[in-house]
Chains A and B, each alone.
Chain A
Amino acid sequence: GAVVSQHPSWVICKSGTSVKIECRSLDFQATTMFWYRQFPKQSLMLMATSNEGSKATYEQGVEKDKFLINHASLTLSTLTVTSAHPEDSSFYICSARVGQGKKNIQYFGAGTRLSVL
């Protein structure tokens, strides 16, 4: 399957600072990437859909000014958690879509654990 790399795998930061998470498709181009958030022992919650060259589409209830998404190239999307607070601590996972239309598949990165002190 296609490889999606996510970096860093774990980050600890102080409250009020910003943290950037990178999601890269290593062996394919991804016009669309997705960002999810997962709380312990819970399912994945879609935060936003990231489209190359255009603004991200955020799910209802997700603060776009808090979670900045940039999809600057066909292989890289970034999620920046701005002015992070302890309640932002979570497991953030990206995925990249391979293929088009009815033949597309989402491959996931390994996730980033964010701990805000």
Chain B
Amino acid sequence: QQQVKQSPQSLIVQKGGISIINCAYENTAFDYFPWYQQFPGKGPALLIAIRPDVSEKKEGRFTISFNKSAKQFSLHIMDSQPGDSATYFCAASNQGGSEKLVFGKGTKLTVNP
């Protein structure tokens, strides 16, 4: 019930391509869905987040698509760059409840030059 399932585990994309990472959740009480970017040896950095009242949110090259009925959300990175190479974590929380973030297992993205 509390899990957030993330796929793929790893992803290799060519520079300029589109990177797509998917997440699925079960708990319908979740109402906040952030994506974090983590570089080796560093803490996660908030990239972009969405709430279920919208189906899409775009910030620069990063877009979250949200499908409430399917209980799925995804991160799209347009025009992927080598500097985007990092591990990406999706997460979910019930901000009206415990507010704890439940993280996916992460996706290691490699963008080849």
Interface size for A (C-beta < 8 A) is 27
User: Which one of B11-19, B43-51, B77-85 is at the A interface?
Assistant: B43-51
Nearest CB in chain B: distance from A46 CB, A: 6
Docked CA distance A78–B103 (Å): 23
Overall SS of chain A's interface:
strand
A7 CB, min distance to chain B CBs, angstroms: 12
Contact of A108 among B44, B49, B51, B104 (CB under 8 A): B44
> Contacts of A44 on B, CB cut-off 8 Å?
44, 89, 101, 103
Given the interface pairs A108-B44, A108-B45, the reply to whether A46 lies near B100 with Cβ below 8 Å is yes
For chain B residues 27-55, which have a beta carbon within 8 Å of chain A?
31-32, 34, 36, 41-46, 49, 51
Q: Given A1-B46, A6-B43, A108-B45, is A42 in contact with B105 using a C-beta cutoff of 8 Å? A: yes
- Give B103 Cβ to nearest chain A Cβ, in Å: 5
* Most chain A CB inside 10 Å of its own CB: which residue of B89, B104, B106: B106
Interface residues on B, range: 20 to 34
Please name 20 further chain A to chain B contacts, defined as beta carbons within 8 Å, in addition to the given A44-B44, A107-B46, sorted by A numbering: A1-B46, A32-B99, A34-B100, A41-B106, A43-B89, A43-B104, A44-B103, A91-B41, A93-B44, A95-B43, A97-B99, A101-B96, A102-B31, A102-B95, A103-B95, A104-B99, A108-B43, A109-B43, A110-B42, A111-B41
